[in-house]
Chain A
């Protein structure tokens, strides 16, 4: 199989079919004003990383992961994070309609800079999206056992950040 993105992914078709979903997803993290730019960037990443598209994963799942990863990395930028917090407050990190998620995502946001990208992604999918470990494994591309172990690591880091025993 060629590594040429152009030969593997029809980005135009992908964009027309999935851009509303990606736009909606990135709005949960970056705010509406930046969502358009972020959506474009996600599809650019899809183009650049088309080789990461696994045949067993649906395009929606793949783009969902790319979009979430993109947003996490964007938020990990400390300067950007401060701007977002100042502009939108903690709501930007989660789904405002679920109070418990707000608390979890605010807490996660505090940990963001200390987490590696995959751990942040798994934490987001678990605490913010409420996914099961099996589904996280499907999205991220690892076993649910790996996900469970990563969640234990995340919990330990959270305890440490909260001042408890690690």
Chain B
């Protein structure tokens, strides 16, 4: 006989509560609680999908508490107003330098603590054409770039016009295990790290997933106008930004928007997107 459904695990519809799934993933729960979750997930495909989606979403996020919050926890003064928060995940650009480069090759390590969160909107769903582009299943890696101009987010494709100050967020779909990095090369051949920004120039391990996953870091475009190359790579072995920089510069300099970049490194799969960065106020 099946045990009765308990209210802390199941909702009124008999399916798992999101809170229950969250608890099972992020804190110790009783054996009975876990058994109910496991048993239900094993036989309910809908809940299994939800469970896996939550598990993947949480695994894709690595968060560090902002310094101001830790200071507040230590009793070191009140928390600052939202607009005055810095040193956390969002960069507040200094007055008069709102269009400065905030991630550059030389500064990429320093930027590790200043990741921006990705801006994939619920309300800004891709068009069917976009979705078709997104769901290509031919390769071992897909890269989707969302560009947020302060008002709305849109999915970028090769040749998409972006502007200084826009934020770019990423979604990837790895279909093989390996070591991941997302990097950019601007028109000045400066190489900058997009993800993982906290890993000090090192790639991060990644597992193949059944669906795209959102990267929890983003970058803001600086005022270096022209072609902006964005690469995502998954390699068999760990690698560093320094390892890749020369190949990235060559690939970015030798390829136009229409051409595909040559393979950057043996044992790697890659995706590349080339955006057209223009001055603010220009064509969209």
A residues apposed to B, CB below 8 Å:
4-6, 9-12, 15-21, 23-25, 27, 31-33, 35-37, 39-41, 43-44, 47, 58-61, 64, 87-89, 91-92, 96, 129-135, 138-139
In the complex, A41 Cα to B85 Cα: how many Å? 11
Could you pull out 11 A-B pairs where Cβ atoms are within 8 angstroms?
A15-B64, A16-B65, A21-B58, A25-B22, A36-B117, A39-B63, A43-B69, A47-B73, A59-B27, A129-B17, A130-B17
Give the interface residue-count category, chain B: 35 or more
B residues apposed to A, CB below 8 Å:
7-8, 10-13, 15, 17-19, 22-23, 25-27, 29, 54, 57-59, 61, 63-66, 69-70, 72-75, 79, 82, 85, 88-90, 117-123, 148, 152-153
Known: A11-B69, A24-B57. A88 touches B121 (CB 8 A): yes
* Most chain B beta-carbon neighbours within 10 Å: one of A37, A39, A40, A41: A40
In the complex, A124 Cα to B231 Cα: how many Å? 41
Known: A36-B89, A60-B27. A44 touches B123 (CB 8 A): no
Chain B residues near A129 (CB-CB < 8 A): 11, 17-19
Q: Sorted from nearest, which 10 A-B pairs have the closest CB atoms?
A: A88-B123, A130-B11, A134-B7, A15-B65, A20-B58, A19-B63, A132-B7, A11-B73, A20-B61, A36-B117
Chain A residues near B148 (CB-CB < 8 A): 33
B122 touches A60 (CB 8 A): no
Main SS class of interface, A: helix
**What distance in Å separates the Cβ of B122 from its nearest Cβ neighbour in chain A?**
5
Known: A59-B27, A130-B12, A132-B11. A32 touches B119 (CB 8 A): yes
